Amino acid sequence: MPIDTTAVSSDQVVCVTGAGGFIASWLVKLLLEKGYTVRGTVRNPDDQKNAHLTNLQGAKDRLSLFSADLLDFESLQAAITGCHGVFHTASPVTDDPEKVEQAIIGTKNVMTAAAEANVRRVVFTSSIGTVYMNPNRSPDTVVDESCWSDLEFCKNTKNWYCYAKTKAEQAAWEVAKERGIDLVVVNPMLVLGPMLQEGVNASVVHMMKYLTGSAKTYVNAVQGYVDVKDVAKAHVLVYETPSASGRYICVESMLHRGELVDILAHFFPQYPLPTKCSDEVNPRKKPYKYTVEKLMSLGMEFTPIQQCIYETVKSLQEKGTIENKEIGRLQQISGLTKLKPVKF
């Protein structure tokens, strides 16, 4: 995409929360490539799972890792004080109701620390889950940045991830208004793509069951997808564009699960991919209408989803998470089985 590649002066200091995560790792990489000095917060800088960050180009001179937990205001404040900008990506990505408060309190803590540090802009990684979860929306409505998920619906359907993200984004907007912070929000759909981190994150797990043969059928459902590198670029784009404001839906395309397995089968026929839908009665679910024009008007271009899916599987193969053989077989890696699918 035609992202501005002009080098940024290294005296531009930005903080990325949850720096070791899937999206944040690509964001840290891009920010370092652009010349920023980056402070990344992780829960434990000495944990091997964050080692990939210190190997990034430019990390030796311009990346420092701060130990911070979302529930510990002082730890966040130490990382954010002195920064020009903050990218708040850290959040539990889970449907565990006990983690809801972490997402909300953590966001309030980050916003408050950013206000006290007088940062130029905060970019918050929200989710499409804060936008589309509304059973009362007419099928003709085009989902755009004015839409909000219905909190009662999220609660009643136990979509705790969407509930937490909606409450967290609302909290971010409230603190921004109260404290006069320049806040811009990115709302990605499900994020796929190559992983820089050692483990496998929840959104990539979404695809794993088809490659391992554990799903014998695919569901009658649709999902929007976007490449992780594009999500990182979108964050930098909205940070660097002075006129950027409000929320930005970030998605390349929406696929029925049948289309997803067809793409997988095209590139990787060696895996035991399902060929049948679990619902043979109802017609194929259609994608809801949405627009990504707001982000594209800033110059954003997206990686085709086929390429993104291809690179995701290649990355899983390179990690040894799935075997790169004629007949694929899952090598269970520690942590993978702990991740439960989340509705993004």
Q: Which positions are annotated as active-site residues?
A: 165
Can you list the alpha helix ranges (DSSP code H) found in 134-277?
151-156, 160-179, 202-212, 228-240, 257-267
Interface stretch with ligand NAP, choices 85-93, 293-301, 307-315, 325-333 (CB under 6 A): 85-93
Q: Which is nearer to ligand NAP, 35 or 49 (CB)?
A: 49
Q: Which is nearer to ligand NAP, 10 or 108 (CB)?
A: 108
Element (H, E) at 110: helix 100-116
Q: Does 112 bind ligand NAP (CB under 6 A)?
A: no
Q: Does 149 bind ligand NAP (CB under 6 A)?
A: no
Q: Does 45 bind ligand NAP (CB under 6 A)?
A: no
Are the beta carbons of 82 and 14 closer than 8 angstroms?
A: no
- Alpha-carbon distance of 233 to 252, in angstroms, equals 13
Q: Does 309 bind ligand NAP (CB under 6 A)?
A: no
Judged by CB under 6 A, which of 29, 34, 165, 247 binds ligand NAP?
165
Q: Does 70 bind ligand NAP (CB under 6 A)?
A: yes
Q: Does 229 bind ligand NAP (CB under 6 A)?
A: no
Helical axes 305-319 vs 202-212, angle rounded to 10°: 80
Q: Which is nearer to ligand NAP, 202 or 264 (CB)?
A: 202
CA angle 50, 51, 52 (to 5 degrees): 90
Q: Does 91 bind ligand NAP (CB under 6 A)?
A: yes
Least distance (Å) between residue 296 CB and ligand NAP: 18
Q: Which is nearer to ligand NAP, 229 or 324 (CB)?
A: 229
| Non-local CB neighbours of 231 within 8 Å, separated by 6+ positions | 23, 26, 27, 125, 186, 188, 191, 250
> Pick from 95, 106, 92, 93: which is nearest to 160 by CA?
95
The residue type of 24 is A
Q: Does 123 bind ligand NAP (CB under 6 A)?
A: no
Q: Does 190 bind ligand NAP (CB under 6 A)?
A: yes
